[in-house]
């Protein structure tokens, strides 16, 4: 089990520093661009206390997608 707050890259396993997604965006860009990333980002943002509206807004800006598209995807994945 990892230490509280310690994260590892789900693709290459290295220990990540904050911001966690900077490594994935830079080193694993092809995976970062996929919609599946939205679910993990949403979960991470909720864990740090962001409300749903702000989570969707941040993800929509990062991925150039509408909040409605993201919300629909997250509902289909049963994250929302």
What are the tens digits of pLDDT across the range 36-60? 889 988 998 999 999 999 999 999 9
Whether the model pTM is above 0.75: no
pLDDT score recorded for residue 1: 36
> Is the pLDDT at 61 greater than 60, yes or no?
yes
* Residues 51, 45, 60, 40, CA torsion sign: negative
What are the tens digits of pLDDT across the range 67-79? 999 999 999 999 9
> Is the pLDDT at 5 greater than 90, yes or no?
no
Q: Coil, strand or helix: which one is 15?
A: strand
């Amino acid at each position: 089990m990892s230490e509280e707050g310690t994260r590892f890259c789900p693709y290459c396993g290295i220990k990540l520093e904050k911001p966690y997604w900077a490594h994935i965006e830079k080193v694993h860009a092809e995976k970062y661009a996929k919609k599946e990333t939205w679910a993990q980002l949403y979960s991470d943002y909720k864990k740090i206390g962001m409300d749903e509206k702000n989570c969707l807004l941040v993800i929509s800006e990062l991925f150039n997608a509408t909040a409605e598209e993201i919300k629909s995807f997250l509902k289909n994945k049963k994250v929302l």
